[in-house]
């Protein structure tokens, strides 16, 4: 499984990096909208929306919300990203609430209409703000494309570091009821890997040495958020008895299984970057 997981990553990672560094922001935003909506489609499965027509309608509603945000941001002077900024703040607030949800495992764990409504709302609050945050980071000047790559590589490195350190040294369970395989040792391994990559990446993106403490703070917060995102998706899977969100990516599960941490980390990184000014 580790070999398959690594091979899949080796194929997908260069494509993602090339898209981030080479595409202009409007094209990247359009491409990632497709990817994020594909992840949302899998989210609907975890929310027990089994009917294809219902899933399609819900997906179109979220697509229209994305289109509305883009349309409302246009102006005669080239546009404003205020709505994207507001959506990013909403995303950060949502993930703080999601952290509280993790403490109450049984909340919305039944299979009635009210539980589905909570989880469907959660899907929109996770996906749309993350997409807006991605656009904000990539559109930022200077070197927004590099900063977006840093934000994503931090999550990838933290995830890989947690996986390998947890497998080798993990003993203390991080959240045994939600995700039995995650360990405290893996968490610290992921923090170390993500922080190292984040500092190196920040220099690549043009940060000054004096800005590195601020970058380190936001990287740690973004990694913490990514852990919440990962655990929250695990919570959804536990509620419905699913191992993966789908079987689309060999060794990795579904698209949502690769996006869960990213969805939570991007709004935190975008807000922190804007707040601390690096």
H or E element that contains 180: strand 179-183
Q: Tokens representing 139?
A: 């559109």
What local confidence, expressed as pLDDT, does residue 76 receive? 64
Nearest of 129, 181, 131, 139 to residue 159 by alpha carbon = 181
Q: pLDDT tens digits for 153-172?
A: 999 999 999 999 999 998 89
pLDDT given for residue 106 in this prediction = 85
Predicted confidence at residue 151, as pLDDT, reads 98
pLDDT computed for residue 12 by the predictor: 82
Read off the tokens for 47. 């929310």
Parent domain of 67: 2-276
What DSSP line would sit under 114-167, residue for residue? HHHHHHHHHHHHHHHHHHHHHHHHHHSTTTHHHHHHHHHHHHHHHHHHHHHHHH
Q: What distance in Å separates the CA atoms of residue 252 and residue 4, rounded to the nearest whole number?
A: 8
Whole-Å CA distances, 235 to 57, 131, 239, 257: 25, 22, 6, 12
DSSP letters of 204-258? HHT--GGGHHHHHHHHHHHHHHHHHHHHHHHHHHHHHT-SSS-SSBTTTBSHHHH
**What is the structure's pLDDT at 255?**
93
- Using only C-alpha atoms, the chain has a radius of gyration, in whole angstroms, of 18
Residues in the chain with pLDDT values less than 50: 1
**Tokens 């299984």, residue?**
257
Using CA atoms, how far apart are residues 30 and 251, in angstroms rounded to an integer? 27
Rounded to whole angstroms, the Cα distance separating 153 from 262 reads 10
Report pLDDT digits (tens) over 192-233: 999 999 999 999 999 999 999 999 999 999 999 999 999 999
Tally of structural domains, the chain: 1
Q: Which long-range contacts (CB under 8 A, 24 or more apart) does 15-23 make?
A: 16/152, 17/149, 20/138, 20/145, 20/148, 20/149, 20/152, 21/145, 21/146, 21/149
pLDDT in the model for residue 194: 98
Token code pair at residue 206: 């043009």
């Amino acid at each position: 499984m580790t070999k398959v997981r690594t091979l899949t990553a080796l194929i997908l990672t260069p494509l993602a990096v090339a898209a981030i560094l080479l595409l202009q922001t409007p094209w990247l935003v359009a491409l990632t909208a497709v990817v994020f909506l594909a992840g949302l489609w899998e989210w609907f499965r975890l929310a027990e929306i089994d009917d294809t027509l219902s899933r399609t309608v819900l997906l179109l509603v979220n697509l229209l919300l994305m289109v509305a945000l883009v349309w409302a941001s246009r102006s005669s002077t080239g546009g404003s990203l205020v709505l994207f900024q507001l959506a990013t703040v909403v995303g950060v607030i949502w993930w703080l609430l999601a952290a509280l949800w993790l403490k109450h495992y049984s909340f919305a764990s039944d299979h009635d209409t009210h539980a589905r409504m909570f989880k469907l709302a959660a899907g929109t609050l996770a996906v749309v703000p993350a997409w807006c945050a991605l656009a904000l980071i990539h559109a930022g000047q200077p070197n927004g494309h590099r900063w977006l790559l840093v934000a994503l590589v931090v999550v990838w490195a933290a995830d890989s570091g947690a996986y390998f350190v947890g497998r080798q040294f993990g003993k203390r369970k991080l959240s045994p009821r939600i995700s039995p395989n995650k360990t405290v040792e893996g968490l610290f391994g992921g923090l170390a890997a993500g922080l190292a990559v984040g500092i190196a990446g920040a220099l690549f993106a043009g940060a000054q040495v004096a800005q590195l403490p601020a970058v380190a703070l936001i990287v740690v917060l973004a990694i913490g958020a990514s852990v919440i995102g990962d655990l929250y998706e695990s919570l959804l899977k536990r509620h419905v008895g699913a191992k993966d969100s789908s079987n689309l990516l060999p060794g990795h599960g579904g698209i949502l299984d690769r996006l869960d941490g990213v969805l939570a980390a991007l709004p935190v990184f975008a807000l922190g970057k804007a707040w601390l000014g690096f």
